[in-house]
Structure 1
Amino acid sequence: MKPYPPITDYMATKLVTFLPDMDIREAIDILLKKKISGAPVLDASGQLIGMLSEADCLRILIEGPYNHEPSSAKIKVGDYMSGRVKHIESSKTILDAAYEFVHSGYKRLPVLEEGRLVGQVSRVDILRAIQKMTPAVKHIPDSWRGREPAMPTYKQTFYGKNS
């Protein structure tokens, strides 16, 4: 069996990152302009300390000054970022990442190598990897040879009859 490709083959390496003392309105503007749903938050020395997601940003409407009079006070990324960051090591494969995505509910994971941020892998990146893969063997049990079960009609697509 062929080993699964490493996540480093599919991860993004040119990342948008935020600093914890950055104004959250500026971060929201960047998320919207770049059409991304979140990004890592790094401290001054470049260490990963959090993630800022769309959901984190929505909290400012629910919890913050927008419930009252808009404040002129600077709302910082560090006040709303998720500080408990789930990450994945650069030595892992796309199978490891898929497992994490399925069991954690996260949409993206920062990729660390020796504690340093080197990239980010998303669910979409893993889907791209799957798209490039082809099954090595179509397994049909010996007891089914010559009488393989047909795909149920309700699972057949319009264009392909599962041929």
Structure 2
Amino acid sequence: MNKTVADIMTKKVITVSPEDSLRKLAEVLTAEKISGAPVVDSTGRYLGVVGEHDLIRHEKPLHIPTVLTLFDSWIPLELPSTLKKEIARIGATSVKDILNKTAPTLGMQDPLRKAVELFDREDVDILPVVDRGTLVGVVGREDLVRLLLTGDDVVD
């Protein structure tokens, strides 16, 4: 039988708000023993995802751009937008400042193979399941491992 994302996704999802503080995010992740959470607005619309790696990256020191000195001139070897992003990351105070808006998502009817491929290819903690812009579930690596315990193949 070809299982889909809907067959294994967790429907009771712990979410965070874009307005939540980074401290509250850390408390939620720790208390719930999860590595990441979808970010939704007050209507349940999916905005992105945030995880432990985002919090850790936030605590990383500021990266000073590399420059080349030539005839008393400084030539930046990185785009000015890189420094701007670094400064924004350091000054982050809420979930909206560090959430990943471009993280991959799944649809309910996607085959499990797609989830396996995304976990293999992307650096994500969880894969939100979205239907017409609304969060309906989430798939974590543990969901795929749990499926193996039932004796079913993760991908047919």
TM over 0.5: yes
State percent identity of aligned pairs. Answer: 28
Output the TM-score relative to the length of structure 1: 0.68
Output the TM-score relative to the length of structure 2: 0.71
Out of 41, 54, 57, the position equivalent to 1:56 is 54
Q: How do residues 5-154 of structure 1 correspond to structure 2 at under 5 angstroms? A: 5-63=3-61, 75-134=93-152
Q: Quick one: higher RCO (CA 8 Å, sep 6+), 1 or 2? A: 2
Alignment RMSD (CA, Å): 2.1
Match of 1:142 in 2: none
- Flag the 1:134–1:79 CA change in 2: closer, same or farther, 3 A: closer
Q: Give the paired residue count.
A: 125
Match of 1:154 in 2: none
- Flag the 1:40–1:102 CA change in 2: closer, same or farther, 3 A: same
Match of 2:76 in 1: none
Q: CA deviation at 1:105?
A: 3.6
The runs of 5 or more residues in structure 2 that have no matched partner are 63-90
- Flag the 1:107–1:4 CA change in 2: closer, same or farther, 3 A: farther
Residues 4 and 112 in structure 2, CA contact (< 8 A), matched pair in contact too: yes
- Flag the 1:134–1:78 CA change in 2: closer, same or farther, 3 A: closer
User: Which of the pair is proportionally richer in strand?
Assistant: 2
Distance 1:54 1:43 in 2: 20
Distance 1:123 1:34 in 2: 16
- Flag the 1:5–1:21 CA change in 2: closer, same or farther, 3 A: same
Q: CA deviation at 1:94?
A: 1.7
The runs of 5 or more residues in structure 1 that have no matched partner are 65-72, 136-163
